[in-house]
Amino acid sequence: MEELIKIAASQLGIKEVPGTGSNPVIVNYAKETGISGISNDDISWCSTFVNWVCMKAGCAMSGKPDARSWLNVGIPVSNPQPGDVVVFWRDSMQSWKGHVGFFLGFNENHSKVFSLGGNQGDAVSIKTYDAAKVLGFRRVLSNVSFDIPQPVLKYGSRGDEVMKLQIVLNNLGYDCGDEDGVFGAKTDNALRLLQANNGITIDGIYGNQTKDVVKNLLMS
């Protein structure tokens, strides 16, 4: 997720050209991602920008120009982290209209969401949006295939299977630190958080139940 923010932030300041012209950088976001219908910068391009960033990071894409298409990409998360995709509704919740960007954080009382995205004030920028208009947070995963670690793994375990588990946890957004093959406190905490977020037994043990959850998340 850090890579997504890094790539998106590299485009800060890219903005639409007033009048009849178009910024070729914005038009190129659509060209590089193969999204049709974006021939100028007057057409809503927030989803196109998120697609372009995900493409550059080697992550899953929606492949569509509409913001709400991102509600079907990656995995839903209730505890968003910086770099997760955030989808908002526009006009009304029932409307097809929306906006999408990368979540950066909340304000102090969680009433506002900080979003890094395209087509925000006609530019790639950081803006705040009403948290009440959030349709969902999604964690997009790398297109790289992962080896599913074999159970049972727990605190004190060592070896290649632990390293596989750490790689998976880090890519799912559960920070377990260095992928060193040592199941220590940070890996234990990351695994327990994954278990808690998915409604299974919170025991810090990577067994068959947790393996099934991991497999389903990676296949989403």
- CATH number for the domain harbouring residue 118: 3.90.1720.10
Full-prediction pTM beyond 0.75? no
- What is the number of structural domains in the chain? 2
* Residues 25 and 125 reside in one and the same domain: yes
| Beta carbons of 156 and 91 less than 8 angstroms apart | no
Q: What is the mean pLDDT of the chain?
A: 92
Which residues 6+ apart lie within 8 Å of 29 measured at CB? 35, 38, 45, 48, 49, 51, 52, 118
Within a domain: residue 68?
yes
* Residues 79 and 11 reside in one and the same domain: yes
Task: Quote the pLDDT of residue 220.
Answer: 63
Three-state SS for 103?
strand
The residue among 80, 106, 139 that closes a domain is 139
* Residues 79 and 171 reside in one and the same domain: no
- Residue position matching structure tokens 């793994």: 153
* Structural tokens at position 121: 């004030």
Within a domain: residue 154?
no
Within a domain: residue 152?
no
Pairing of strands 125-130, 75-76: unpaired
- What distances in angstroms separate CA 128 from CA 44, 161, 162, one per listed residue? 18, 42, 39
Edge-to-edge, what's the strand order for the sheet holding 125-130? 75-76, 134-139, 85-89, 98-106, 112-117, 125-130
Domain, as residue range, for 169 = 160-219
For residue 182, what is the domain's CATH number? 1.10.101.10
Q: What pLDDT digit, counting tens, does each position of 188-200 carry?
A: 999 999 999 999 9
Lowest-pLDDT choice from 28-32, 40-44, 104-108, 187-191: 40-44
Three-state SS for 106?
strand
Tell me how far apart the alpha carbons of residues 87 and 62 are, in angstroms, rounded to a whole number.
Answer: 12
Q: What pLDDT digit, counting tens, does each position of 42-83 carry?
A: 899 999 999 999 999 988 899 999 999 999 888 888 888 899
